[in-house]
Structure 1
Amino acid sequence: MKKLDRLIMAMLFLPLLNSYCQTEVSREKEALLEVLASGLHDTLKVGPVYRYIKAVRPNNINEAKTYTATLFDLVQQNNYRKGFGIYYLTAADNEIAEYKYDSSLKYAGKAADIFEELKDWQDYLVAVMRVCEINSAYGRNDLVIEIATGALEKTRSQKFIIQKCNIKVRLADAYVSMSKYDEAIKIYQEALEGFGITDYTPGMRLACTEISRLYTKMGLYDQALEYCDKAFNLAKRYETYFDNTKLIMLLDKGTILLNLKRYKQAETTFKEAMKLAYKEEIKLFIRSNLALINYYLGNTDKGRQQAQLVIDRSKIYTASEYWYPETLVFCNYTLGLTYYSKKEMGKAKFFFDNTVSLLKGKSPKTYKDLDILKECKKHLCKIEIFNNETEKSVSLLEEAVRFESEKEKIQNNFNLNNLSSAVDLAQKNVEVKKLNEENIKHKEAIKKEHIKAILLIAALVMTVVLMIVIFKDYKQKIKKSKQLEIRNNIVNRQKEELEKNLLEKNLLIKEVHHRVKNNFQMVISLLNLQVDSENVKDINAFLEEATSRILSMALIHQSLYEEENISKIDFHKFVNELISSMDNAFKSNTHKLIFDIDIPHYMFDIQKAIPLGLILNEMVLNTIKHVHTKQKITVISINLQYEEGIFELSYSDNGIKQIGKSQPKNSFGRELIYLLIDQIKGRVNVSEEQNLCYNITFQNN
């Protein structure tokens, strides 16, 4: 049938191809002239030159060769390694166009070597494809298998699916030429799967067609029909080219239906093919099949007339390139059957002998060939019995049995290979099953999402169709429905916000109650401690100190409520507000306080912030209480540093202590400072040699 492919391309497709090529050549020529006239680097001109050569080659090989020389000059001047590979590939294609296969093989081999060296695997596969095609033309099938298998192995980790599948098709063709049909079918199916991944329709159609023909040769007609229908449907995807391949598809399908004994369907299919056939050789081939079909349908006279007509007219076409030997086989076989049915044994024997003679030299024989040979031998055996030639009849019967055995052998070999493949597949399935089980849930989830998406799309399509049909009646209702939905969403969002705010307020109120209770308890404890530790003589000073401590705690809560996060406060902001309030509270006309504060924006929780605030409060109070009365300006320095998980709070002043008024070591203020430092699990280092200086270290857990 590959001759038929070439015939159809020459008969139907070439006019369309020539028209397309002329347009393509003009476009590429314009682009090429523009690039050559530009100031682009020579290496950038290689691509346009190559594309123009590829476009012009089918119609003008001389111009293609002229620009191939230009391509070589561009590459050689710049020592462009990949360009050399492109040049050799172009030269190989030129030689193929002139049927110079030896030189084309040399060029294609050089191109493959260069692309392999550069690890340009896509172009490497294209070059290997050329090498396989040329060796296949020489019938070097073993070499094609070796080269194709090696190329596929080298590019195992690469993508380029279409190029690799094209190599697989050439590999399968080689196995077909060696009559290794089962191996060929496996590789064609791998190529079909690869073409399917990329949705490359021409490749899928080719693979399905070849698989169908192999199944036909092996007598597996149901499988052959399945793949033939697949190829037919794939060809329909491109309506422009469908008519060009339709005749091939119809002839394949008619042959399969005839072998399946679906004679009416086969007759309809061949008659449809007859309408598309323009070559007399093809028409004779179709008529030979119709003659056999008419015999099987009981129209023996019509079948005999058609067969005899084909034989009479075929004499001038047997030397044609597109002549099919099957034509005479079917006609002689049909005439043998018709004359046998009419008991004209002499004529029947003549045509059966002709049929056997035509098939005898054919190698390899297909399943259908063996079936016809078997039937011919059976009928010849009966004719010899009719002629009382017992020995000849026995010999013919033995030959019929042998042909039947060969038929069974073809299918048994295939079934055996299938069984072996099934065993291997079962073992692999066991291994794969374990992996698949892990992905089942994920796949099911994806499947559900796909179903949802499909249902959603279907619902949308139905909605759109419904809206188009009853647009005027439902437009207002849809609008109101959308408005109501928007309002409901707004109400729901507002409700959620209100519920959230209410919950936050309730939590805040509870937190406030809890903190107020704790703060009252702390105030009471501070007052009790101060009363127990000192003799309260100056009630005003007592109250001022207590007020200052309470104010420090109040500032912490004020800072908390001003922050979005009510659990932490900005210590920098808090200290500045504390110092500002104390400065205002203890402002004096005779004495001035200056604060030097260096505290970064660290965030502390309330358990750290309150003790630290009270510590600073006590330190400032102690400085004010014990500073010398004649000192007009007192500078207080407060610094906070962080290093390696440790905070260091430094406090110092430049105050000159009044004689006799240095702070006692067991005073309430100092005891309170130490108590608060213990509360935050810190350590303190106090220096009073010249000026008072506290260094407190702690962690913020």
Structure 2
Amino acid sequence: MIRKRSEFATGLLFTLCCIILGFPLFAQPKVDSLERLIAGTDNDTLKLEWYNQLRRASSYNDPKKAKGYILKYIALAEKLSDERQVNIGKVYLGNTCYALGEYNKALEIFLESEKYFTSQKDTTVLGNIYNGMAAASENSGSDTITLKYFTKAYDLFNARGDNRRSAMALNNMANIYVNRKDYPKAISLLETAFRKIQDAKFPEYQSLIGNNLANAYKEANELDRADSLYLWVIGQTDETEDAYNYLYANKGLGEIQLLRNNFPAAIKYLEKAKELSQQNNFLTNRDEIYYSLYMVYNQTGQLDQAINALRNYTSLRDSIFTIEKDKNLAEALQKYESEKKDKELAQNQLDLERQSLQKRNSLIIAIAAILMAAIAFWFLYFKSKTNQLLQKQKNIIQKALDEKELLLKEIHHRVKNNLQVISSLLNLQSRTIKDQEAKNAIREGQNRVKSMALIHENLYQTEHLTSMEVGDYIGKLGESLFNSYNVDPDKVSFKMDTEPLQLDVDTLIPLGLILNELLSNALKHAFPGDRKGEIIVTFKRQSDDLLLSVKDNGVGYSATNPTMKKKSFGLTLIDAFSEKLNAAVEVLEQSGTSVNIYIKNYNLVNHE
């Protein structure tokens, strides 16, 4: 499966909610019964406890409702002058703000409550606070800060011998290393967490950490271990009471069977995951389930099901993008209107004060002073009108720039999707063609489309919509081509020597197509049979030029390459795009083949 990082991150989010909200996964007293108890007593101490139970009962299903109970809990604790319970309530409030996605608010509350519990030397609550601070800061994009707070939480829990909470903290730390692709470190932490949670005898958390550990095994290509652990999770998880973990395990098993080309088993598990996702309204991971179903139906020749799954996947991804875009637009508009009203009120107040001052002065100053005041007033009025006009023009320009940025991002997104659909249609078409040469031509066409789709995918996901870092693109293109030609990385290694250079899209597209042809040629012809070797891609500045070099230690350009006999379409493309970049092409045969492209026509972008 493709989006590995997001799969594990989703599992982590559920883990964080479980630990920082501090609620058990078993049934709580019914909400209506507790509300009747509160209404029927004047005992504030009992009310405090019952509001806490209401919080616990609603935190998982309805955090917004839980927030209301917590605010009543804090108000009652203040009435009782119970400073500790007031601050306990603030911790609950920070947890719930996190669950509602109010990360900055949650972080402010945690920082405030940390001061009180540090003064009280209460390590029990401090551990939960640090875990919550880590969860909230994770959305800032700084995994160093997140890891710092998770580590502080783990140290406190572990020192107290609290296996349940220390296991969950380890689980959360492991996610940071998965995001860094340090799978051995992540697996080590998760295995320790799994042992701790088993010792703590919390089966509901065992399923959750078990799923995350199985996913880490899958990421590290340890498929047998991942398969066994996913099956264990299914065996000990109730489909009705813990639908999410049951779904996640089925999804993981389906992806493993897809990797093993065991298509009937893959369909069984993935269809079960889709059914649970629809029954429980779980949008998380549903797009990935549809994409895996598209892959398996496509490879088994079930074209109607494949197209339907691809359509659902594309529709779901587009709707998610649109929802996020509309939300950002609404927030920006609301902020703009609020600032506009504040400025208008301030200007009105300033005008009223100026008029009042002029009236008082008109009674005591001479006609000359009145005339000077009038001149001054009109001067200020003219200046104010000029400033307002300039501000209005500035707002119009800024709005146009914002709309242009949104439109450009949407264009990149749509172009990427269209290229992806074209690639998928080419793949479907190739299944009906028996001529191997025609199939190879279609596959090469797919690779050229993918090389362009990679550029547009990276552009709309970053803040810089017209440029990207070349080294990152080269790595992704190389990985895509190795997968396309089924080349074992243990047989042929792929190395890069690149400078951190940002190129604009007009330079990237012809450069990407040239690199696609050179890498494809090396993968197809340089290492026949069981021959091993390596491919090295170099991209750096050389004097006033950019040097793109693709070197292999294979059999050599003229030994097996049929393009020496006649000029292929790939070489025609290289010549055409080299001319566009005003580039010189140099082919050397030295223990293999080295192709050097010296580019003179390019646009570097500096975002500093």
TM-score for the superposition, normalised by structure 2: 0.46
TM-score for the superposition, normalised by structure 1: 0.41
- Structure with higher Rg: it is 1
Q: Which one scores higher on RCO, CA 8 angstroms, separation ≥ 6?
A: 2
